[in-house]
Amino acid sequence: MSRIGKKPVELPSGVTATLDGQTIEVKGPKATRSFTATDDVTIAIEDNAVTVTPRGMSKRARQQWGMSRTMVANMVQGATQGFKKELEIQGVGYRAQIQGSTLKLNLGLSHEVNFDVPQGVTVTCPKPTEVVIEGTDEQLVGQVAANIREWRKPEPYKGKGIRYKGEFIFRKEGKKK
């Protein structure tokens, strides 16, 4: 039994959900999101909550059960609050700035990195060493953050690079004489 799949997804006030076959659409104050579930699960809307149940107990049906419920919960959260990832840049001369829809990063390379921000995501730089990524789609926000971090991952000796806010980097000791 899926512990996650058993829980119903509560719809807060101001959020409506409509069901059309296997496609559920969630409308909220921030966005309208939709998700099409596989035929392995049944989605139902009752008592201002969305429930997901498996059709049978095959391995695939149980996998889709928890995943579909999580997708619906993420759509509800994205439509009401949205998602946010924060990155920190550490290193001498490392900095970021936003110009239009392009994030310009100075990361100690011989050139400046220009990162084009995709549609559906908002990137801001409150400080030259901080990057905040916000949006209504959790997968897209996380992927943009991972793509930015990929340019200069934190290295274990000095800790220089782009890291998630609050991320712990295991530090190594340098060479000894």
- What tens digit of pLDDT does each residue of 59-112 get? 999 899 999 999 999 999 999 999 999 999 999 999 999 999 999 999 999 999
Residue 10 sits in the same domain as residue 75: yes
Q: What is the pLDDT of the chain when averaged over all its residues?
A: 93
Banded pLDDT at 5 (limits 50, 70, 90): confident
Residue 69 sits in the same domain as residue 117: no
Banded pLDDT at 1 (limits 50, 70, 90): low
Residue 55 sits in the same domain as residue 8: yes
Residue 43 sits in the same domain as residue 91: no
Mean pLDDT confidence for 151-155: 94
* Domain end (from 49, 80, 111): 80
The tally of domains found in the chain comes to: 2
Within 13 Å, how many C-alpha atoms sit on residue 18's CB side?
Answer: 6
| Cα 33 versus chain centre, distance | 14
Residue 134 sits in the same domain as residue 73: no
Give me the domain span that covers residue 113: 83-164
Residue 122 sits in the same domain as residue 158: yes
Report yes or no on 145 lying in a domain. Answer: yes
Q: Is the pLDDT of residue 140 over 90?
A: yes
3-state secondary structure of 8: coil
Mean pLDDT confidence for 49-64: 92
127 φ, ψ to 5°? -130, 160
Report yes or no on 173 lying in a domain. Answer: no
Q: How many residues would you count in the chain?
A: 177
* Domain end (from 80, 103, 138): 80
**pLDDT at position 16:** 92
Q: Is the pLDDT of residue 129 over 70?
A: yes
Instruction: Compute the distance between CA of residue 24 and CA of residue 68 in angstroms, rounded to an integer.
Output: 10
CA separation, residue 83 to residues 27, 111, 122, 164 (Å): 16, 31, 10, 14
Residue 76 sits in the same domain as residue 111: no
